[in-house]
Amino acid sequence: MSLIERLGTFGDAKVWYDNIPLESEYTVGIAGERFLRAIKDRGVILGTVCPACDLTYVPPSMYCERCFTQLDEWVELPAKGTVYTFTIVTRSLDGQALDEPEILAFVKLPGAHGGLVHRLTTAKPEDVEIGMEVEVVFKPQKEREGSILDIKGFKPT
């Protein structure tokens, strides 16, 4: 059987099950670096602006996804927003039941195209609703590491 021969049934494929040790490093790119540094060093949310499309990208992007213009204009956005959608998580990534459910939300920032997915803190699942006003809760500056987790989450205002 050659590599380009089409298999007719799944059972004809040769498979084996094992583990492959892999390591990887994720780079956030130029825009992501600046975005995370602004959170870490100054506790602010940055976006990039496409003047041609009148869009502000959060998280920031180096290029406009609509017109492909390189984006050089950076703006600070208010560290608040509205819940666009949310979900209640009751299990960890490995399937274990959580002691307390977590609320994950997609929060749109005012004037921004896009938003941030993060935890909702200090809200009970039954109290969360779409359109709810929330604000960013940053970690204390000395605890920040240059990660999106320098934001603890969003809390209702």
Least spacing, CB of residue 72 vs Zn ion, in Å: 12
Q: Which residues contact 31 (CB under 8 A, 6 or more apart)?
A: 48, 59, 60, 61, 62, 71
Of the pair 64, 103, the CB lying nearest Zn ion is at 64
Q: According to CB under 5 A, which one of 7, 30, 52, 88 is a site residue for Zn ion? A: 52
Give residues 66-85 in contact with Zn ion (rule: CB under 5 A): 66-67, 69
Q: Is 124 in the site for Zn ion (CB under 5 A)?
A: no
Contact 103, 123 (CB under 8 A): yes
Least spacing, CB of residue 95 vs Zn ion, in Å: 42
If one counts every other C-beta atom within 10 angstroms of the C-beta of residue 80, the result is 16
Q: Is 50 in the site for Zn ion (CB under 5 A)?
A: yes
Q: Is 71 left (phi over 0), alpha (psi -120 to 50) or beta?
A: beta
Where along the sequence are the contacts to Zn ion (CB under 5 A)?
A: 50, 52-53, 64, 66-67, 69
